Amino acid sequence: MSKTAYLAGLILVALAACTTTPPVNDIPNEILSASTPADHTRLADYFAKKSADYNAEAVLHEKMALSYNSRPKGDYSSMASHCRTLAAQFHASAREAKSLESEHRALAK
């Protein structure tokens, strides 16, 4: 193995070790086994990211609803309604994820 490939591998391993958010497929096991402040912090970080992602999706769907309503021809009200419904659901999911983040941050203390 070349020295460059070896160093690149080490850098990738180091970057992976610095990540505080567990992979999504590990979340059920992370929840089951969380017992230390570091475990709960990792879960809190995961839920913080989920909350931000859900809010971003909500904003996108709000913009899509406005776009449907702004079309000059045709009746797009059902599509706009669909987007508004999804936006509300994503906002609710973001609040739930934020709540889980807060609970895990409290458990990490």
With respect to residue 95, please indicate whether it lies within any of the assigned structural domains.
yes
Tokens of 4: 């460059």
Tell if the pTM clears 0.85, that is, is over it: no
Query: Structural domain tally of the chain?
Result: 1
CB 23 within 8 Å of CB 47: no
CB atoms under 10 Å from CB of 88, counted, come to: 13
pLDDT for 49-61, tens place per residue? 999 999 999 999 9
What is the percent of the chain with per-residue pLDDT over 70, rounded to a whole number? 82
For residue 42, being part of any structural domain is answered with: yes
- For residue 16, being part of any structural domain is answered with no
Residue 10, domain member (yes or no): no
Domain that holds residue 36: 22-107
pLDDT on residue 17: 46
Instruction: Give the per-residue pLDDT at 5.
Output: 63
Residue given tokens 């669909």 in the structure block: 82
What is the per-residue pLDDT across 68-89, written as a single tens digit (0 to 9) for each?
999 989 889 999 999 999 999 9
Task: Give the closest residue to 47 by CA, choosing from 84, 98, 8, 12.
Answer: 98
